[in-house]
Amino acid sequence: MLTRYRLIPALSAALLAVGGCGSSGPVVTPAELVDFKPLASLKVLWQGSVASAGRNTYFPRVSGGVVYAVGADGAVTGFDVSSGASQLQIDAGERVTGGVGVGGGLVLLGTRKGEVLAFETTGKALWKAQLSSEVLAQPAAEDGIVVVRTADGRIHGLDAATGKSRWLYQQRMPSLSVRSSAGVVLERGGVFAGFPGGRLVALALPNGNIGWEGIVALPRGATELERVADITSLPAIDFPRICAVAFQGRVACFDVQRGALLWARDASSIAGVALDARYLYYTDDRSAVLALDKTNGASVWRQDKLTDRSVSAPLALGRYVVVGDFQGYVHLLSAEDGSFAARIATDGKAISAPPIALSPSSFLVQTRDGGVFAITIQ
């Protein structure tokens, strides 16, 4: 099975996980970087490193003034959010997948063998739980429940103290789907997740009962490949709305409590969405970054000069939108019109995970080579 990278229509057949098989596809030429007049500047506040992620995507987390990052070897480093000084070292003792999860006083890791490993934030090992399939996404924890998504379409609710199963939710998986490292979002006692087939679900955190199910996109087309309409990224929540985007489908927003559809429009993305006070932003499957009015889905702007550069999901940060690309460049776009405001290079390796905010004017990226960069906007 192949992990999704640079998934565009011409390459989709090569990069879909089908019964454990994959093949190579045609080569595409990424857009050259364009010159522009900077409107701001980007500066690296501090830089750290963890092990390489290889061809996987590893998601860092920020909690309690510490940045937690991990590479494929299972060694977690906790960096001070202000200085980058090492605050914590945890060696899981085996290869891990999906990145590090933090919550409820726990540091959590998943493996391809379907294991979840739990540690105290001091680094002390607490428990190990065996689940039904490989863990490609970050575990999450809140209110005494650890929530873990496995590659077989199941969401597991585990007791945070013991790792014992508390509940299980499962959706039937289609025969053809995009291999995804998207996990779940925990918010106000709810568990929110998108699935292959274009469905977005809301579960109750204490017991896993389903609250509602919304249709972001319905499979359509004559062939099995054309009918892939998977949600491969995390939904974004800005009460009272929750929004998600599907590959070969739509971008849609729902009422977060009732699941009622607010609006939807055609879109295709494997990267994901972000929200701010006015707009919804998403990166489409050709690496264009788009802004829509989040109240009705109306188009605001489109930045298409990063075509086929494997651009990450966006981060909305104040007056700007931040994305990374396959060469490790970080691009700062104006939230007002999508124009380029600034650019900075990191270590030359792909930034696949979405940038994450550290403050109203700073953010963090992790590259495939294990580079961890805290960057500020000036």
Strand-strand pairing, 199-204 and 210-215: antiparallel
Q: What is the distance, to the nearest Å, from the Cα of residue 136 to the centroid of all Cα atoms in its chain?
A: 11
The mean pLDDT of 115-133, rounded to a whole number, is 96
* The pLDDT value given to residue 26: 64
pTM over cut 0.75: yes
222 pLDDT exceeds 50?
Answer: yes
Structure-model confidence comparison of residues 225 and 373, the more confident one: 373
Q: What angle do CA 181, 286, 289 make, to 5 degrees?
A: 85
Position 247 scores a pLDDT of 96
Residue-wise pLDDT for 324-373, tens only, equals 999 999 999 999 999 999 999 999 999 999 999 999 999 999 999 999 99
**What's the pLDDT score for residue 304?**
97
The residue extents of the domains of the chain are 58-180
CATH class of 58-180: mainly beta
Q: Which two tokens stand for residue 63?
A: 């909690």
Q: What is the pLDDT of residue 280?
A: 98
* Nearest 10 degrees: Cα torsion 303, 308, 313, 314: -20
Q: What is the pLDDT of residues 129-188, one digit of tens each?
A: 999 999 999 999 999 999 999 999 999 999 999 999 999 999 888 878 888 888 999 999
Contact between 230 and 177 under an 8 Å Cβ cutoff? The reply is yes
- As separate numbers, helices (DSSP H) first and strands (DSSP E) second, the chain gives 1, 32
pLDDT above 80: residue 53:
yes
Query: pLDDT band at residue 25, thresholds of 50, 70 and 90?
Result: low
pLDDT band of residue 7 (cuts 50, 70, 90) is very low
